[in-house]
Amino acid sequence: MKADIRIAWILARGSERREWYRILLTALGALAATDFALAAVAIAAVPGQVSIPYGHGLLDQPGQRAGVVLTLVLLLLPVVGFLGQCARIGAVHRHRRMAAMRLTGATPAQVRRIAAVESAFPSLPGAVAGVAVFAVVLASTGHTPYPAAWAGFAAVVLAVPVAAALVSVFALRHVVVSPLDQVRRTVPDPGRRTLFGFLLGSVLVSAAAMLVTLPADVRSAAFPLLVLALVFATGAGAIWAAGASAALLGRRLTLRARRPAVLIAAGRLAHDPWAAARTHAALLLVTVVGVGFVGVRAVLLADLRAKKDVLPTDMGFYTTGIGLAGSAVLIALAISLCGLAVGTAESLTTRRRGLAAQAAAGVPHGVLARAALLETALPLAPALLLAGVGGTVVYLAYAAIVGGPVSLLPLLVPVGVYAACLLAAATSLPLLRRAVHPSELRFT
């Protein structure tokens, strides 16, 4: 293990210029994870009932603080997905020297460990920078953390690099670098999992919808559990639908497509259909939450306006909490979109030799660009539709409990997320010109 750490450190110090983008992105992800975790620890360490002059009293009660802490912890999920995408890009950029290690006797497990440790190194300065940002924020507010929080702060700084290494190991579990400078993913045959993916998605969404038919008193008592069940059930179904639809569309369009861009995209989807599920996992979960939040927000605000004369506290208390929850959803969506952009860039970088060969054979740049966008657009559409259904079920369950109005506004959320995803994928297209450069043909 010491030798692996030493090799990883040497490789990190001697990284090429293009790899510094990966290192910077990993550090930014570690910074975000550190700040979210430090904020959760600082709030969780507040004892009993206090008076905090922020958020209209939102942090005064232990129960309310627990909700804020849970929100901050859930924000770590898209950050974890983002770090996983960064780890995959790092593995692709370093595959030639990893192949040299394999020729000298390194095992695939050692290669993955070295790549994971190399991903953990930029996480440490990212964690330290997160502590610095958090300290500046605390100093500007004039608040001193409670003594119980300091041990948690130290644990967070140490845990973030370890977590980044573990995420890298998980992200690279199917990547094998051969001694002959080839990178492949050891993924089971997706054909067997296509039908199972559609069936699992349908069963999970159906089971979640059946929860809404419970009696009103049972739904009211178990609404938080109901929401978690709906979010994770429909989120898992949407993730499986992304991979299954990619496999199905890849096989069908490969045989029937007439346009070159569609044919190229279909070939990519058929080759590795579950890459879409890996890339879109956090984004689909955020979509479920976003659809449900928009609907619940509309119902909750309508109910508060109707009862504002009898509320025990001012409206600012409720609107601040709703605004913070909305900000958390937007932050999670932004992080997930960054992960999608990184995943698209990783896909282009992985296939730069094949893309260069296609360009040299006469395929126009516009066709390759449209094919790259279709790789995101085709499998994402049915998955976002399923995620929208799940979020709508959450919203309708809450509306049925409180008797609030039903709005069509949440149905626009998947459409907006879909457009944002295409824009995020388009940000990686400038890399396509570099990927199709004739110099890449030297390595084919």
Q: At CA 64, angle to CA 33 and CA 28, rounded to 5?
A: 10
| HSE-CB of 184 using CA atoms within 13 angstroms | 9
What's the whole-model pTM score?
A: 0.77
Domain boundaries, the chain: 2-185, 191-443
Predicted pLDDT at 190: 47
At 95, list the tokens.
Answer: 């595959």
Q: How many other C-beta atoms are found inside a 10 Å radius of the C-beta of residue 388?
A: 26
Angle between the N-to-C axes of helices 108-141 and 2-13, in degrees from 0 to 180, rounded to the nearest 10: 70
91 close to 115: Cβ distance less than 8 angstroms: yes
Predicted pLDDT at 68: 83
Predicted pLDDT at 257: 78
Predicted pLDDT at 16: 59
Across the chain, which has 444 residues, the per-10-residue mean pLDDT values are 71 63 83 90 80 68 78 85 75 62 73 74 86 86 78 88 80 58 50 53 57 58 62 72 80 83 85 75 84 86 74 69 85 88 80 82 87 87 85 81 78 91 88 76 58
